[in-house]
Amino acid sequence: MPETSLLRAQPGARIETGLCRVAHELAALTGWRRYGLGFLCGALLAGALPPVDLTPLIFIAFPALLWLDEGSAGPSASARLGYAFGLGFFVAGLYWIAAALFVDIDRFWWALPFAVVGLPALLALFPAAALGVTGFLATRLRLAPAARVCLFAVAWSAAEWARGHFFTGFPWNLVGYVWSGGFPGAIAMLQSTAWLGIYGLSFMTVLAAALPALLGAASLRPLTPARRAAPALAAALLIIVPAVAGMIRLEQLPTRMTGAWVRLVQPAIPQSLKWDPEAAEKNFRLLIELSGAPAKRALAAVLWPEAAATFLLERDPARRAEIAAVAPKNGYVVTGALRANPPPARPTQIWNSVEAIDPAGAIRAHYDKAHLVPFGEYVPFGSVLPMTKITAGSINLSPGPGPRTMTLPGLPAFSPTICYEAIFPGAVIDRAARPAWIFNVTNDAWYGRSSGPYQHLAIARTRAIEEGLPLIRVANNGLSAVIDPAGRILAGMALDTIGHLDTALPAEAGATLYATLGDWILVAMLGLGLAPVLLLPRAR
């Protein structure tokens, strides 16, 4: 065992507790048993996320990983174990991505292995790097066990940040999102993102979950009950203190509503019919019918989901006129739509957009999606790869310039985000023109009744808390939701429900600390996390 072993298995060490015995048995595993259990621990961690929401599983998955790592012969073995753990985590947490291929399985059957295993295999490189770096530095610097745990939390969090930014970024299922679902009291802990952001909450969560690994350490001399319990107490404080602060924030930030009312329209059109030319008219009539239903209050806007308009509105005045007929008086229909280069030239450039149509049929404003989905909306290296994008149409979509605030008379200014743009912390609003709310349109019908839509909603909910802004989510087949600045889900529509929901817009809460400082807060937290690495005495 390395000198920096968490278990301190020197000759004469005392195996005092059952956890010590479990830790040593895990460290002694070799071969496929070691990596297989690492894979299962990663899958177990995925169960802490929505929609399973078994948050306490983090206190099993991370200590077990660190105990297994005690059997690593060096940094490369640690990296391999981290890779197995990451592979299990991403296979279990992202299996639903493959469901999108079944919409047109005759064309994309060959891509199933890449979706089920290929993407997780790529993403698993980040946990591999985290554990490998931890093993390398812990051995080289002869870190004490507590310092090694802190280094692991720093390395994991830095790897998550890198995953969210490198190669277009994919910050899905960050560990901090274990607090974003339905586990009792989790919303209090999730309030921490108003101060720390989701990356900061991830760091605090990983550190709290990893500290109990020290409970498996054997000792050269008997430990007092207080010293034996110290790691558990420290972990508890890392959860209790932010949770109490979150409870205070929730108490001091009650839901307030504005006088502006909007209608959320959820048509629940199956993805197999979404772009079917024979179903286009029926789909459009459903949207018009839901939008034109009588309202008890005057509406400022009717909100449609992503790509609800499957035709090019700027080239179709007849359809625009029908939409205008159901627009509220002095209001708008704000819809997801595809937008092309101006007529009369033939379409050569397409954007995934949000467009606002007034009662006269004019397009008053638009926003173009900036963060496109690789292979879904465009094919990277398309001149080399022999494939087309998964979504309808043969033209790769073009990216927009980035977040913007859409200002329309009679409607509070809002920031449109399209589909998975809502997963990117700190990138959902224009800092120079702060909006009053966030409008997220999406179409999760690709993923059926899988974990995907629930995870997507939980992630979008976190953006509301980070920014101190309400978020209105309109999804084709659900889960549509009205979310206040504290992340409370005030109303919504379930998966595959056809209907509309009239609601007042919640009021904003003011810019949060995270909205002001962004990920510099994470930099400061990682610096504090490295303090034990520098200050604690070196192991013998």
Catalogue the active-site residues. 306, 369, 419
| C-beta of residue 488 within 8 angstroms of C-beta of residue 279 | no
Residue 178, SS3?
A: helix
Question: Helix 520-535 crosses helix 193-210 at what angle (to 10 degrees)?
Answer: 30
- Residue 404 and residue 60: Cα distance in Å, rounded? 42
Structure tokens at 323: 């939409």
Region class of 302: left (phi > 0), else alpha (psi between -120 and 50), else beta: beta
Maximum separation of any 2 CA atoms in the chain, in Å: 85
3-state helix, strand, coil in the chain (%, to 5): 50, 15, 35
- Residue 76 and residue 399: Cα distance in Å, rounded? 39
- Residue 200 and residue 154: Cα distance in Å, rounded? 10
- Cβ atoms within 10 Å of 229's Cβ, excluding its own: 13
Residue 423 backbone phi and psi in degrees, to 5: -90, -5
| C-beta of residue 83 within 8 angstroms of C-beta of residue 67 | no
- The pairing of beta strand 363-368 with beta strand 350-357: antiparallel
Nearest to 232 by CA among 221, 244, 223, 220: 223
| C-beta of residue 439 within 8 angstroms of C-beta of residue 467 | no
The per-residue b/e assignment along 343-362, b for 16 or more CB within 10 angstroms, e otherwise, is eeeeeeebbbbbbbbbbebe
- Residue 424 and residue 460: Cα distance in Å, rounded? 9
Q: Which residues pair with 351 in a beta bridge?
A: 339
Sheet containing 301-303: order of strands: 363-368, 350-357, 332-340, 301-303, 257-266, 499-506
- 270-to-266, 351, 415, 443, 476 alpha-carbon distances in Å: 12, 22, 27, 10, 9
Residue 263 backbone phi and psi in degrees, to 5: -115, 125
Nearest to 181 by CA among 305, 41, 57: 57
| Residue written as token pair 């709290």 | 208
Supply the DSSP symbol for 365: E
- Residue 209 and residue 98: Cα distance in Å, rounded? 30
- Cβ atoms within 10 Å of 288's Cβ, excluding its own: 16
- Residue 342 and residue 125: Cα distance in Å, rounded? 43
Query: How many CA atoms, within 13 angstroms, populate the side-chain half-sphere of residue 75?
Result: 13
